Amino acid sequence: MLQTMHKILIVGVGSIGERHLRCFGATERAETGFCEVNATLRDTIEQRYPTGKAFADLDAALKLPWDAAVIATPANTHIPIAKRLAERGLHLLIEKPLSTTLNGVEELQRICRDRKRIVGVAYVHRSNIVFAQMREAIASGRFGKPLEVVAVCGQHFPTFRPAYREIYFTDRAKGGGSIQDALTHIINAAEWIVGPVDRVMADAQHLGLEGVTVEDTVHALTRHGNVMGSFTMNQFQALNELLFTVVCERGTVRYEPVLNRWRWMTEPSGSWHDEQLPPAERDAMFIRQANAFMDSLEGKADLLCTLDEGIQTLRVNVALLEMVEAAPWRAVAK
């Protein structure tokens, strides 16, 4: 039986857009093209990935028929581009965060609902097999009800994202800063495990990342109904780590993507039991995400992260930033 080939347009080919272009191509299920307004970048990417379909703007790109588009431009442009493409009949995979504000979100929902468009948001931890296995084990009731989620995250940004000074990260209005760029992944992952956030508290500041003024360190507290959450992150430490722990009634479960494993413990002062997977290339999650999106287009599977779920996490981003700006600190009496 012939495999369906999907015509996928990548809008914006900065580092994440280039990854989507590469990874959709790697599935061997997609005919890709891309749109990039930066002429130098457009020429560079065209040389690396000679699809024969490189466009300077959406008007030119939309002269060809496309099944779907991946929107990988700065976050403040996502909603206007998504509305335009949905109105043209394209299904959408939108990079995280969905936007920087809630403006236009309800209209996008209406357009996609009226035109029956499939819209996913690219929170890539949902594509990690390790995380999916851990989530399934928790959802099965094996460890009892989740009570608390704790995430400790850190990474040396100059090593892992050396171009951070030259991209959207420098500007909150474009989706920059630790809350919208990185913590949003972890918040979305927590919502996938223990349900949506309904209350937040937060502190954030620029402490150590050179060349920017946006926050590089965040401490956030969340409530997911009766489940409590705690999240800490910085983007300048030497250690590359993500420890995502879910404390349940009858055990503790931990996701460690850097080591490609999840682990669990049920006995007090007991030992960890590791569920170890072979080392995975970083592209593996993005290829799985691309395949899952195309499976949803074919009616074979649900989206990994729906538009509504992306909007929910956007609400959390907005609330965290508002809390940081309010700075509700109380001085300790002397």
Q: Where are the domains of the chain?
A: 6-125+286-305, 126-280+316-326
Q: Is the pLDDT of residue 67 over 60?
A: yes
When pLDDT is cut at 50, 70 and 90, the band that residue 175 belongs to is very high
126-280+316-326 and 6-125+286-305 share a CATH fold: no
* Mean pLDDT, residues 301-316: 98
Distance of CA 298 to the CA centre of its chain: 23
When pLDDT is cut at 50, 70 and 90, the band that residue 1 belongs to is low
Q: Is the pLDDT of residue 204 over 70?
A: yes
Q: Which of 243, 261, 300, 303 is nearest to 123 (CA)?
A: 303
- What pLDDT, on a 0 to 100 scale, did the predictor assign at position 52? 81
Residue 176 to residues 75, 147, 181, Cα–Cα distance (Å): 9, 31, 6
* Mean pLDDT, residues 121-125: 97
Element (H, E) at 326: helix 307-326
Q: What's the N-to-C CA distance of the chain in angstroms?
A: 77
Q: Which of 91, 49, 45, 54 is nearest to 70 (CA)?
A: 91
- What pLDDT, on a 0 to 100 scale, did the predictor assign at position 280? 86
The residues with which 244 forms a beta bridge, in sequence order, are 151, 255
CATH superfamily of 6-125+286-305: NAD(P)-binding Rossmann-like Domain (3.40.50.720)
CATH 3.30.360.10 fits 126-280+316-326, yes or no: yes
- What pLDDT, on a 0 to 100 scale, did the predictor assign at position 134? 98
Q: Give every CB contact of residue 60 below 8 A, 6+ residues apart in sequence.
A: 35
AA identity, residue 242: L
Q: Is the pLDDT of residue 53 over 70?
A: yes
Residue with tokens 């599935």: 27
When pLDDT is cut at 50, 70 and 90, the band that residue 2 belongs to is low
CA atoms within 13 A on the CB side of 315: 15
Q: Which residue has the higher pLDDT, 254 or 327?
A: 254
> Cβ of 48: how many Cβ atoms within 10 Å?
11
